[in-house]
Amino acid sequence: MTDASLPRAEDLLAAAARIAPHASVTPVLQSRTLDALSGAQLAFKAEHLQRGGAFKFRGACNAVWALPDAVAGRGVVTHSSGNHGAALALAARTRGIACHVVVPEGAVAAKLANIVRHGATLWRCEPTIAAREAMCARVEAETGATLVHPYADFHVIAGQGTAALELLGSHGPFDTLVVPVGGGGLAAGTRLALQAVSPVTRLVLAEPEGAADTARSLAAGERRLDFTPDTICDGLRGTLGAPNFALLQGAAEVITVDDAATVAAMRLLWQVLKQVVEPSSAIALAAILSQPARFAGQRVGVVLSGGNVDLDALPWAAA
């Protein structure tokens, strides 16, 4: 992969200008209780309060509005477990174009409802990456729609980085930024933001133990994608994208977290911060609480990535 195929800091700044009329500038939340528990000073970027309920709207909006008019008129297509699909549907609606979303069987009902509410057409497939990609190719061929990949798209990566750019601008500097990682769109975009405005800040990625391909890949120096995800964090089951890996290699650390710790952190955020966040978001706090010595005494920025929770299936309800 060549450097020319990867977004750069200037692409991040262009994304910030492009999405400004459409995306929300989300608040930054703080808690003395969580500071005391972690031993650090935490600043939570509340992307669960972004349009569509997740940071994903940033990247989807940037990708949709970067399309030339003639191309945009044929619509867009993606595959998504939920948040990116809803974000792309909403972004497409802001431009008045069609949106098609390939969804795997077993996706969270609340997230599918968001996609439909924003006007997209659903296409169902088996819950594998190969099945998703095959269905996307079919929809592209039948409709002429442009593929907007959930995390490996040039403009998606640049758009996702605007969350960290805002956080750094409003509450920086930070010793460390912690973000969840699945396919790597938010992680790679955050790396671009740090490169642009705060190169001394460490980037720490929070990843489920049951889908730890980023940790394995960065340790090996090449992508290691042969695994079957097993995690409650449905938004983090995607495999690390090639451009995402290229941007993150040598620039990020990974903390892997078990699902029990993630659910405990999710409940803590609901109880203490009074915020409805999903497991794929709460994992960032779980990573900090799992290794407090790594963050003790630091100023730490945390991206709360999404809040699209199925309220009929809360992970602590059975208990």
d(CA 110, CA 122): 14
Domains 3-55+155-304 and 57-153 share a fold: yes
Other Cβ atoms closer than 10 A to 196: 18
The pLDDT value recorded for residue 71 is 97
Does residue 134 contact residue 125 with C-beta atoms inside 8 Å?
yes
The pLDDT value recorded for residue 244 is 97
Looking at domain 57-153, its CATH class is alpha beta
Bridge partners (DSSP) of residue 83 are none
Q: Environment class of residue 9 by beta-carbon count within 10 Å: exposed (0-12), middle (13-18) or buried (19+)?
A: middle
DSSP string computed for 213-254:
HHHHHHHHTS---------S-GGG-SPPPHHHHHHHTTT-EE
Give the ranges where the chain is alpha helix by DSSP (H).
Answer: 9-19, 32-38, 56-66, 69-72, 83-95, 109-117, 129-143, 154-160, 162-171, 185-197, 213-220, 242-248, 259-268, 279-290
DSSP string computed for 63-96:
HHHHS-HHHHTT-EEEE-SSHHHHHHHHHHHHHT
What would the two tokens of residue 6 be?
A: 């990867």
- What SS3 class is residue 206? strand
* Structural domain boundaries in the chain: 3-55+155-304, 57-153
Does residue 113 contact residue 93 with C-beta atoms inside 8 Å?
no
Q: Environment class of residue 298 by beta-carbon count within 10 Å: exposed (0-12), middle (13-18) or buried (19+)?
A: middle
The pLDDT value recorded for residue 82 is 81
Looking at domain 3-55+155-304, its CATH class is alpha beta
- The one-digit pLDDT tens for each residue of the chain (319 residues) are 556 689 999 999 999 999 999 999 999 999 999 999 999 999 999 999 999 999 999 999 999 999 999 999 999 999 987 889 999 999 999 999 999 999 988 887 777 888 999 999 999 999 887 898 999 999 999 999 999 999 999 999 999 999 999 999 999 999 999 999 999 999 999 999 999 999 999 999 999 999 999 999 999 999 998 888 899 998 898 899 999 999 999 999 999 999 999 999 999 999 999 999 999 999 999 999 999 999 999 999 999 999 988 888 899 876 5
Query: Of 261, 307, 290, whose CA–CA distance to 54 is shortest?
Result: 307
Q: Angle 9-19/162-171 helices, nearest 10 degrees? A: 90
